[in-house]
Amino acid sequence: MKNFSHFPPIWRLVRLGMLQVLLSCTLVGIASARSGMAQAILERKITLQVEGQTIKATLSQIAKQTDIRFVYSQQLIGAERKVTLRAQNEPLASVLDELLAPLKIQYEVSEDRVVLRLPSKPTSANVSAPQDITVTGRVLDDKGEGLPGVNVVVKGTTNGTQTGGDGSYTLTAPDQGTLVFSFVGFNPQEVAIAGRTAVNVTLAPDTKTLNEVVVVGYGTQQKRDVTGSIASVKGDVLVNQASQNAVSSLQGKVAGVQITNNGQPGSSPQIRIRGTGSVLGDPSPLYVVDGTFVDDISFLNQDDIASIEILKDASSAAIYGVRAANGVVLVTTKRGKAGTPRINYNGFVGVQSVTNKVKMASASEYATLINERNAAQTLATNLPSTDWFEEISRTASVHNHQLSMSGGSEKVTYSVSGSYLKQQGIVKNNDYERITARLQTDYNATDHIKIGYSAAFTNTRSNDVPADQIFYQAFITPPVLPVFKANGNYGDSFDYPLGNFANPRATLARYNQRSNNQRLVSNVYASINFLKDFTFRSSLGINYGVGQYRNYQAKDSLTTTQFRQRSSLTSSNRKDSRWLWENTLTYDKALGDHRITGLLGISAQRDQYNQIIGSINDVPYYSESSLYLGLGDPTTARIETPADKYTFASYFGRVNYAFKDRYLLTATLRFDGSSKFSSANRFGIFPSVGAGWVLSEEEFIRDLGVFDLLKLRGSWGRLGNNNIPSNIAVQTVAVGAGAPYYTGIFGGQPYFGGNINSLAARVLDWETTDETDIGLDLGFLENRLTAEVDFYNRRTNQAIFDIPVPGSNGFQDPTTRGNYASLRNRGVELSVRWNNQVSEKFSYNVGFNTNYNQNKILDVDAIGAQIYAGNLPVGGVQTTLTRPGLPIGSFYGYVVDGIFQTQDEINASAQRTVAGLKPGSFRYRDLNGDGVIDAADRQVIGNPNPRFNYGVNLGFRYGSFDVALDVQGVAGVDIYNANKGVRYGSENFTKDFFDNRWNGPGTSNEYPSAALGGTDLNANTWYVEKGDYIRLRNVQIGYNLPKTVVSTLRLQGLRFYANAQNPVTWFSYKGFTPEVGQLRGSTGATSAGVDLNVYPLSATYNFGVNVTF
């Protein structure tokens, strides 16, 4: 770009003026030099009337009338294009201008010939040609506000700039050139300069989203070129959601992505993409934040996120090879843009409260039930009642503040942000604090070398509560127990003939644990563009975390069951580090109708984790400052040092090819090696191929005039999952500090022992997932209506299962791991979106997405080809069965046929031989009709895998107001309500149970008596309930202060918003929440949907303000 900055200002003006004079003289000169013969030809008169006729035919008509010849390349000028033209005795020049100018065809008269050509590609010579002028202007958005960061380029050149903070720009351009304005999210616009020095432009938002750029693995791609299934969510959608974790904000937004929230502050929601495709451990996707692999993104403030892309199918995810089987979530954070600094504050304050609380039996109801249960007057029915949920929970506050600044010049762009979040838990004593700081810089060292980095630092601090235990305790603890006794001591179950129950308030009071974690996620890169089409990029990502917690259990005597003879202090320090070094070489070339992008890459990764956990007794408590291990009794000191380490080496490549923007092809190959597997079978190959056909580019579809977009795409690929512990196939020994229970005692002294008490996993290989995807992208009515449909079939082979081994082998862990099964997830995804800008003031959009997924086990290599799981902690009850033909972890048990009303009914039934059965017990159906109820009378009684997930997203904008509303739901899913059946004795009951129980002949044929126990606790249909729900996920109302008011405040923008998250959830399930993840204390998808966790839902109400300075 030509730059006059080396001239002093006055000289610059003078020179500019002189230049213009000079330029116009030159142009006149050229014109007059031509005038001789050409002028005469151009003045020949023409009369013509054509309608929808090809250019070729039109030109030949003109040629006849004027007796000249046209010279052109039919292909180049697109001579088959149809035109309409009307001329009545007009000069040739104006007819040609009228005909050719809109088609961007230039002409030149040479003797008796007119040569047609497309505008010549400017060379570096004519960029600095003397006809350049300085153009200034401002780019505005549809609301009339300045748009910073818009690319302004002189068409056909690389000469360009970006708009500044207020949307203004200055650049030098040929006076007859064309400026192209482009900005993500807006329709690009071309404006002829036509000699003007001021060009102001208003960009219209891109409602099509078709030219949208999406982030793909190791690069970006135009959405229309994508052959796979990628869901893209922009940062502004997340900002409407005032949640603390960006993943949580995705709930109900993306078809095929199921998100299960967890109410604990600082915790991460569970995310499953296209069903449960993996059985063992964590079937979570891979998260990639700006190229760095992380395990979860709770360290990010969602205001820092520019976009989240979810790679759902094999074609898009296969570039991540052995880590991609559960999908990939790509997070791109905001980067600075050239222009004046943009400073923004966004903050909200809010409250959270428990919703959908299950009503428990009161003291008198409980006493009635216990007396019925024991058939004796165990308790008086007039005892005062304690509502334990009320006692442990509270209305909690949350507030979050973020301040960011971004900007830069053409050389350097930057973005800096900091945020502070403070969230109380809905459980008393629980709070969480997070500070984030982010710094990011991109530096264009030369025109071809770019370097940059991003670094995000997060510090979290929390006061913890035993969240898993506390809600369970509140559920089971008898309401007859007071919080405090008259003498001020904690209410004690020893005072009642009920068994041992912890006082939940005492549990909270004695629990003293603090955690503090720091994490740095950073990435530094350099890229060099060479030999015109090649870019080499090297990036190093570092993810470094340290964490401490200390747990102090004071010497206390709170109740008979909650006492501690000696105090105990546990202190832990952990450090994890991961580096990821990746080098990629990209080739990008457009040749006529062909566009090709090639990528070759190589990557190495090392993960390491170390922890030191020390514990000691008798540390005195003077203040928090005395809680150090050094102050305890040295003879009681213990230390543990868990650690892990693993590495990856990978090679990968991808080719994207597009022909005429119509036929698209993507092929990827990744070759991955991991230290988690033995050297013999450590490398795997993960190929994928995807193809797309943009039918709407074809004449025959375009002629229909129906589709703005019609794209058919299909892909197949193979993905891997190595999300398993390291070295599990190595047989290890239980010995030393890791196996203190193997200490032999002889002569009163301990002697350390060790032995082999486990069965090494028979893991031969990682899981592979073969996935086929067929999709259709549609756009109608000027793309106001868009839709995407996908059919997928994911087959997970060699799924790593924990399969039970017979107890006679004598292993401590009764399961072993190996590639024991294959399973399938098959489904359909649909998203439909309607966007309408009704008027300048009013616009709205409606989105709907849903998916149907069917999960099925194809093969199990376990003994007996079936796995019973979902073990409840009482009575040996197993609730689920996984075997070929069934969805994974199907509920399995007896069918309840009513309640025995009398002993005579029992005596006449198939259950007469069951010892101790009483009226009020379940009558089970004799499925095989053999007159005996036994294990053979069980069947599948429910499916914990949701068949439908759906979301509805509505948005309205009227003038300064906007409203967003999200509804989300799950249908076709069952929950095993184990809370009802895990009964050791005198646990509390729900009010629902009290109201509906059997308590004498004829009282109920559905609910059992309070004495339920024995075979009543076996898995049966009474415990299985519908888990469907619909939730008002998020409602937000925003108000943008009018421009006039804002500018008097010297601000760029000011917005107020109010937001409600999860205010209402409708469900019939009788537990606390229909969002049931994993059975408490279990791992693996074979024990999903069994509710023994009873963590209530909470609603959050926020009020926020967003200021741009």
- Looking at residues 899 to 938 of the shown chain, list those that interact with other proteins (rule: CB under 8 A): 914-916, 935
340 binds other proteins (CB under 8 A): no
753 binds other proteins (CB under 8 A): yes
Number of other residues whose CB lies within 10 A of the CB of residue 736: 11
Which parts of 638-713 fold into alpha helices (H)? 699-702
Cα R_g (the chain), whole angstroms = 36
Number of residues that bind other proteins (CB under 8 A): 115
Binding mask 349-388 for other proteins (x = CB under 8 A): ---------------------x---x---x----------
Comparing CA positions, the residue from 644, 645, 619, 640 lying closest to residue 573 is 640
End-to-end CA distance of the chain: 31
DSSP code for 7:
S
Crossing angle for the helix pair 92-100 and 9-42, to the nearest 10 degrees = 120
Helix (H) or strand (E) holding 27: helix 9-42
748 binds other proteins (CB under 8 A): yes
CB-based contact 516:460 (threshold 8 Å): yes
542 binds other proteins (CB under 8 A): no
675 binds other proteins (CB under 8 A): yes
680 binds other proteins (CB under 8 A): no
486 binds other proteins (CB under 8 A): no
CA 260 – CA 1089 distance, rounded (Å): 11
Give pairs for 626-630: CB < 8 Å, separation 24+.
627/550, 627/552, 627/569, 627/571, 628/569, 628/571, 629/569, 629/571
φ/ψ bin of 1011: left (φ > 0), alpha (ψ from -120 to 50), beta (otherwise): alpha
In the list 129, 445, 524, 528, the residue contacting other proteins (rule: CB under 8 A) is 528
CA 384 – CA 378 distance, rounded (Å): 16
Cβ at position 672, least distance to other proteins in Å: 11
Cβ at position 1095, least distance to other proteins in Å: 25
Binding mask 600-629 for other proteins (x = CB under 8 A): x-xxx-x----------x------------
CA 42 – CA 109 distance, rounded (Å): 8
3-state secondary structure of 915: coil
Binding mask 291-320 for other proteins (x = CB under 8 A): ------------------------------
CB-based contact 281:1084 (threshold 8 Å): yes
Helix (H) or strand (E) holding 610: strand 594-617
Which lies closer to other proteins via its Cβ, residue 323 or residue 335?
Answer: 323
729 binds other proteins (CB under 8 A): yes
40 binds other proteins (CB under 8 A): no
Between vectors from CA 399 to CA 397 and to CA 403, what angle results, nearest 5°?
175
> Which one of 33-41, 167-175, 648-656, 784-792 is the stretch in contact with other proteins (CB under 8 A)?
648-656
Beta bridge partners of 458: 436, 519
Among all chains, which residue has been given the structure tokens 């503040």? 401
Joined together, the tokens standing for residue 803 give: 């399969």
Cβ at position 534, least distance to other proteins in Å: 6
In the list 377, 681, 731, 903, the residue contacting other proteins (rule: CB under 8 A) is 731
Which lies closer to other proteins via its Cβ, residue 459 or residue 866?
Answer: 866
> Which one of 141-149, 203-211, 633-641, 838-846 is the stretch in contact with other proteins (CB under 8 A)?
633-641
Joined together, the tokens standing for residue 317 give: 């995810």
Binding mask 546-585 for other proteins (x = CB under 8 A): --------------x----xx--------------x-x-x
Which lies closer to other proteins via its Cβ, residue 615 or residue 666?
Answer: 615
Query: Among residue numbers 219 through 258, which ones bind other proteins (CB under 8 A)?
Result: none
Query: Among residue numbers 792 through 821, which ones bind other proteins (CB under 8 A)?
Result: 804-812, 814
Cβ at position 904, least distance to other proteins in Å: 19
CB-based contact 1096:426 (threshold 8 Å): yes
128 binds other proteins (CB under 8 A): no
CA 982 – CA 874 distance, rounded (Å): 6
In the list 2, 86, 448, 660, the residue contacting other proteins (rule: CB under 8 A) is 448
In the list 357, 662, 762, 1043, the residue contacting other proteins (rule: CB under 8 A) is 762
Which lies closer to other proteins via its Cβ, residue 296 or residue 861?
Answer: 861
Query: Among residue numbers 939 through 998, which ones bind other proteins (CB under 8 A)?
Result: 984-986
Cβ at position 875, least distance to other proteins in Å: 6
DSSP code for 818:
E
Which lies closer to other proteins via its Cβ, residue 918 or residue 991?
Answer: 918
Cβ at position 871, least distance to other proteins in Å: 8
Which lies closer to other proteins via its Cβ, residue 606 or residue 991?
Answer: 606
Query: Among residue numbers 425 through 444, which ones bind other proteins (CB under 8 A)?
Result: none
Joined together, the tokens standing for residue 604 give: 């190495």
7 binds other proteins (CB under 8 A): no
In the list 73, 200, 377, 743, the residue contacting other proteins (rule: CB under 8 A) is 743
Cβ at position 265, least distance to other proteins in Å: 31
CA 507 – CA 473 distance, rounded (Å): 9
Comparing CA positions, the residue from 342, 410, 533, 339 lying closest to residue 160 is 410
Query: Among residue numbers 839 through 878, which ones bind other proteins (CB under 8 A)?
Result: 862-866, 868, 874-878
Which lies closer to other proteins via its Cβ, residue 325 or residue 877?
Answer: 877
CB-based contact 289:297 (threshold 8 Å): yes
Query: Among residue numbers 489 through 518, which ones bind other proteins (CB under 8 A)?
Result: 494, 496-500
In the list 209, 674, 796, 880, the residue contacting other proteins (rule: CB under 8 A) is 674
Which lies closer to other proteins via its Cβ, residue 40 or residue 863?
Answer: 863
Cβ at position 1061, least distance to other proteins in Å: 40
In the list 180, 524, 649, 774, the residue contacting other proteins (rule: CB under 8 A) is 649
Among all chains, which residue has been given the structure tokens 């470094």? 544
Cβ at position 933, least distance to other proteins in Å: 11
Amino acid at residue number 925: R
Q: What is the DSSP string of 483-547?
A: SB-TTSSBP-GGGTTT-----HHHHHHH-EEEEEEEEEEEEEEEEEEETTTEEEEEEEEEEEEEE
37 binds other proteins (CB under 8 A): no
Which parts of 163-207 fold into alpha helices (H)? none
In the list 645, 659, 908, 1001, the residue contacting other proteins (rule: CB under 8 A) is 645
In the list 642, 885, 931, 1081, the residue contacting other proteins (rule: CB under 8 A) is 642
In the list 119, 740, 885, 959, the residue contacting other proteins (rule: CB under 8 A) is 740
Which lies closer to other proteins via its Cβ, residue 437 or residue 528?
Answer: 528
Which parts of 612-719 fold into alpha helices (H)? 699-702
Please list, in sequence order, all residues whose beta carbon lies within 8 angstroms of the beta carbon of residue 377, skipping any fewer than 6 positions away. Answer: 371
742 binds other proteins (CB under 8 A): yes
Cβ at position 547, least distance to other proteins in Å: 18
Q: What is the DSSP string of 380-428?
A: -TT-----HHHHHB--EEEEEEEEEEEEE-SSEEEEEEEEEEEEE-SBT
732 binds other proteins (CB under 8 A): yes
20 binds other proteins (CB under 8 A): no
CA 820 – CA 888 distance, rounded (Å): 13
Burial class (CB in 10 A: 0-12, 13-18, 19+), 749: exposed
3-state secondary structure of 354: strand
Cβ at position 123, least distance to other proteins in Å: 11
In the list 593, 644, 840, 904, the residue contacting other proteins (rule: CB under 8 A) is 644
Amino acid at residue number 981: G
Query: Among residue numbers 1005 through 1064, which ones bind other proteins (CB under 8 A)?
Result: 1013-1015, 1018
